[in-house]
Structure 1
Amino acid sequence: MTDATSGSDQRHRSDPPGRPRLIIFDVNETLSDMAPMSARFEDVGAPAHLARLWFAELLRDGFALTASGDIESFAVLAAEALRVRWAGLDLDRPLEEAVDHVMQGFSELEVHPDVVDGVQALDDLGIRLVTLSNGSAGVADALLQGAGVRDRFERLLTVEDAGEWKPALRAYTYALAECGVESQEAMLVAVHPWDIDGARRAGLATAWIDRASGRYPAYFAVPDLTAGSLVELADALR
């Protein structure tokens, strides 16, 4: 576990955060392992490498709509982004059947190997746990039920009820209001630097889960903590 305290004065706190009262988890890729979505692409005759590009494109378009003052559900954007990405490809089944096959994959994803032990360890510390996803609460529920840790989470929140996608300010303030805590009492945990940046600007403490030992973009507000897994995060907050 490392303390991310480099960068300009505007991009970090001078001291590591104390143990939060509330941890707000991102869901897609932070808790869920989305690697199987590449196999879903191959199943329908599309190149596996397009899965990551498609996911980045649907996030981009969700952010763009939010910036324009509009909002659309994750599922609608994901399905239409598939139709756009696959335009001109020779799939092995009708387009809508291919779209349905990939979209069904969200409900069958599993958590990363560190998630169960990490969530249990954080809950055992007495920290309240919730999720806040740009996707649906139903997908988060299926994921956590399948992992056997749904009972460790107090709430499963979605930006569909906030009216704006993360990383817009309203998404985080919505979660804080729903949970009845102040920003300085909460920590956002995510694998996405853009999510870390948004939460940091909303006044939350942040923890970046860096399972791949990657590089954090210098143009985003740095996380208060960086961990290779949720287990490492729990060890740091113990």
Structure 2
Amino acid sequence: MNHIKAIAFDLYGTLFDVHSVVDQCDEAYPGRGREISIIWRQKQLEYTWLRSLMDRYVTFEQATEDALRYATRHLKLDLNDRIRTALCNAYLKLQPFPEVPHALSQCRQRGLKLAILSNGSPHSIASVVDSAGLRDCFDHLLSVDPVRIYKPHDRAYDLAETAFGVARGSILFVSSNGWDATGARYFGFPTAWINRGDNTFEEMGQKPDWTLRGLDDLSAVLDNRG
């Protein structure tokens, strides 16, 4: 791993728990929080992919709101303006996974450049990172907004190569999303897949270079023990 000069992290589901909104969903719709969160996240992903295919880009905040509207309508739940605003704002204050702050600190101690490369907008990325007090961990907060297409398109991954100013083979990409790790691997990044839930990796012609149980396992990889 001596050739790795920088690390680009996915944000949603990798560093931050997208289902940390369950409590807010439960508060709005008692007993339905987990169900809402799962459908909300799945539709959020689908809408980014479909909009990329149709070349009909909207901001991540809009895709997130549209997905929430779908989830509540699908579950036959009333979504008024107050609840919609509260739940969308909750997505701007997601909680990091417990091991994340220490793992990022260990990466910094190794002298590596760090970035977030996310489908989120500049506003959403900054809000989530600032809320957790982790802004100082990163050299770059990279949104797909300037290229107006979502990961896993190559133009999205190119943002990290351009920002770091080093060859893609020297940038480790870290994601818990199998589709994202696949796209990054096709682009040419060495890739670590964070598999916290004992999930099955996608069958799309690529495999991650490393499969880790959590971000705290990244240290072993960086020390050539992974």
Q: What TM-score do you get using the length of structure 2 for normalisation?
A: 0.90
Question: Is 1:78–2:70 an aligned residue pair?
Answer: no
Partner residue of 2:26?
Answer: 42
Retained in 2: the 8 A contact 1:194–1:220?
A: no
Retained in 1: the 8 A contact 2:181–2:192?
A: yes
Instruction: Indicate the RMSD between aligned Cα atoms, in angstroms.
Output: 1.8
Retained in 1: the 8 A contact 2:140–2:163?
A: no
Partner residue of 1:61?
Answer: 47
Question: Is 1:234–2:219 an aligned residue pair?
Answer: yes
Number of residue pairs matched by the alignment = 220
What does the per-residue CA deviation read over 1:58-104, in whole Å, with 9 as the maximum and x for residues that have no partner?
A: 2111111111223111100111222222227343xx52211111111
Partner residue of 1:6?
Answer: none
Moved more, 78-87 or 109-118: 78-87
Give 1:131 shift. 0.4
Partner residue of 1:209?
Answer: 194
What does the per-residue CA deviation read over 1:126-182, in whole Å, with 9 as the maximum and x for residues that have no partner?
A: 111000111123333333334443212101010011221000011001221122121
Mapping for residues 143-222 of structure 1, pairs under 5 Å: 143-222=128-207
Give 1:222 shift. 0.7
Partner residue of 1:8?
Answer: none
Retained in 2: the 8 A contact 1:23–1:129?
A: yes
Q: After TM superposition, what 4+ stretches of structure 1 lie above 4 angstroms from structure 2?
A: none
1:223 aligned counterpart, secondary structure:
coil
Partner residue of 2:5?
Answer: 21
2:73 aligned counterpart, secondary structure:
coil
Moved more, 136-145 or 52-61: 136-145
Amino-acid identity (%): 25
Partner residue of 2:15?
Answer: 31
Partner residue of 1:132?
Answer: 117
Give 1:220 shift. 4.9
Q: What TM-score do you get using the length of structure 1 for normalisation?
A: 0.86
What does the per-residue CA deviation read over 1:196-233, in whole Å, with 9 as the maximum and x for residues that have no partner?
A: 01111111110001112222233351100111122211
Moved more, 174-183 or 109-118: 174-183
Give the gaps of 5 or more residues in structure 1.
1-16
